[in-house]
Amino acid sequence: MKARKNRQWRLAARPSGEVAVSDFQWVEEPVRPLAGGELLVRNAYLSLDPTNRVWMNAAPSYLPAVEIGEIMRGFALGVVEESRHDDFAPGDIVQGILGWQDYAISTGHAVSKVLRLSVPLDAHFGLFGHIGLTAYFGLIDIGKPVPGETLVVSAAAGAVGSLVGQIGKIKGCRVVGIAGSDEKCSWITGELGFDAAINYRKGSVIRGLMRHCPGGIDVYFDNVGGETLDAVLRFINLKARIALCGMVAQYNTGKPLSGPSYLANAINQRARLEGFIVMDYYDRAEEAIDALAGWYAEGRIKYRVDIVDGLEHAPEALVRLFHGQNQGKLIVKISEEPAR
């Protein structure tokens, strides 16, 4: 039988600032035969995430750096085409860190079967999977929202942020989103039910917070860091909770941004700032998926996916993410959806 061709994006260079298409190299090679204990997955969807840029740095983060010449790391979802692994059979739909490529050979480590919920497969990136778990546990476990409190979320029209705001509404909070365009602000207030939105590219975030958070801020879900985090710190209430989820404002700067000037307010207000990584919650995934699936079925939560067609476009799509040009969860369609 003729070997399958595997198209891949490998890391060609470490970006010193903004990620560029030239940081990736396109390679084509045949898929090798499986060894015992391995499975072969045909990737259907690849998730593009801000954290992809973090993994391209030489310094390790919560995962080791991707090495030059290595297949670019990425979450993907696909179908098992061959298996020599006891826990997986051909036809299983799986997701995990399967890389920027057509086919992944895996030992099954960090690969899980997709729960067959009656939703489109892209929902496993837009609503469930690592995105939904991040929004759910970051807000519920760390933000600990209480009805009547004010919740602020940044990158609010993005994959994680849009879910956070909607969960905040379900939990009875007043929700204010910060996003980078009028269209995004209209979407989160109009369709998603946020109480207010601030377009940070158009005016001062500080003035926006003064206007929309007259009673101060109890919970801040931080996706961007930098000046936005600093602005929020000025307005936090006593015992505020700040969930440090991501710092997308500094991923492309090539160096850390200088620290927030208003951090002392966390002392005055006895606030808690807590970082988290979604992987720490994987053993509680079912709890989040049950809650999200229930709210989705009741029409209380919506998600939006931005699907780019073709693995060949993955690098340019990743660049778009850092210009705020994605409209919801950014996904690359690599091949046809497996039959379910």
Task: List contacts with ligand NAP (CB under 6 A).
Answer: 49-51, 130, 134, 155, 157-161, 179-181, 184, 223-224, 245-246, 248-249, 276-278, 321-322, 324, 326, 329
CB closer to ligand NAP out of 26 and 322: 322
CB closer to ligand NAP out of 42 and 329: 329
Distance CA(255)–CA(20), nearest Å, equals 17
Q: How far is the CB of 278 from ligand NAP (least distance, A)?
A: 3
Q: How far is the CB of 17 from ligand NAP (least distance, A)?
A: 12
What sections of 196-243 are H helices per DSSP?
Answer: 205-212, 226-233
CB closer to ligand NAP out of 209 and 245: 245
Q: How far is the CB of 206 from ligand NAP (least distance, A)?
A: 15
CA angle 52/21/69 to nearest 5° reads: 65
Q: How far is the CB of 3 from ligand NAP (least distance, A)?
A: 35
CB closer to ligand NAP out of 79 and 163: 163
- Residues 128, 129, 134, 140, CA torsion sign: positive
State the burial class of residue 168 (Cβ atoms within 10 Å of its Cβ: 0-12, 13-18, 19+).
buried
CB closer to ligand NAP out of 246 and 338: 246
Q: In what helix (H) or strand (E) does residue 289 lie, and over which residues does it extend?
A: helix 285-297
Residue count of the chain: 340
CB 121 within 8 A of CB 140: no
The phi and psi torsions of 6 (rounded to 5 degrees) equal: -110, 115
Q: How far is the CB of 297 from ligand NAP (least distance, A)?
A: 23
